[in-house]
Amino acid sequence: MNAIDSCWRSDPNWAANRQALADCARGFGADATGGKNGRVYTVTDSSDNPSNPKPGTLRYGAIQREPLWILFAKDMIISLKAVLSVSSYKTIDGRGVKVEIANGPCMEVRSASHVIIHGISIHDCEAQRPGLGDAITITGSSDAWTDHCFFSSCVDGLGDIIRGSTAITISNNFFTKQDKVMLLGHDDDHDEDKSMRITVAFNYFGPGLLQRMPRVRHGYAHVANNRYERWTSYAIGGSANPTILSEGNQYTASDNPRAKEVTMRIQDEDWKTWTWKSSRDVFNNGAFFVQSGSGSYLPNYSPSQSFTVAHGAAVLTLTSDAGPLECNTNKTC
């Protein structure tokens, strides 16, 4: 197991101590507590009424002001009628059931902190209004962690982290069938994103992806121990002088001779000064990473955030369980 999973998955009593998950994040989002020490709220109703949220629905729990650890009573598909804004100090925990948010507007974390989203599938998201067709949009928020989720086939992208958001970890997720996957940073003129610090680790960027895994503006991204499988444009891109450390990833290029390069610099002639570094990555089928810059590129994690990054040769094992897990009570997950 990777550094995050080994913290909790080997415990057969995980269901009796679900909130222990909150101690297992690593990277910049390691301090996200979610609903730890709050009461448990169980979703029993898959319906959605944005104007009058009903107790027992996901929306009702997600918008409460108090810390909540949100569970699901059974398998369910939730088709939201409006974008669901998750408030601070919430954990959405799909372990033990199959939960899908699909075929409607999807989720955002807006001006919030300490949010954990774990073990759900988010796909086929529709745009309620322009700019909100992503699976999850994190805007103006901090201390968030998305882990072991499935993302696919949304109108816009699968994840945007924008407008000054920082201290976030994206880990153990499975991404597939999407053009624009993940955007870090709102636009080239949004200087507030210079403070952005994001960890992207142990994810499987699977078949059917074109670009933005991630695309970074201004801030810092530590991209570690991810599996990249046959992108059709580029894997990691950016603009506005971001700093990127690609460490211990495995990149397998497609057979398209024009899509071998991992990296893409966008809209700037000074890209050679940008600090983009590759360390202990593995490159297959002609993939290659163009390094640049000479500045500092280490993440400088605090002790609570730090984790050991393996050589890229270990990535197939470390990402083998990416996406929602099949978890059963009284068994290791």
Whether the Cβ atoms of residue 159 and residue 129 lie closer than 8 Å to each other: no
Give the separation between CA 156 and CA 69, rounded to whole angstroms.
29
User: In whole angstroms, how far apart are CA 164 and each of 142, 143, 198?
Assistant: 8, 12, 11
Give the separation between CA 142 and CA 138, rounded to whole angstroms.
9
Catalytic sites, residue numbers: 212
Count of H-run helices and E-run strands, the chain: 2, 28
DSSP, collapsed to helix, strand or coil, labels residue 191 as helix
Closest by Cα among 116, 101, 113 to 158: 101
Whether the Cβ atoms of residue 195 and residue 166 lie closer than 8 Å to each other: yes
Burial class (CB in 10 A: 0-12, 13-18, 19+), 212: buried
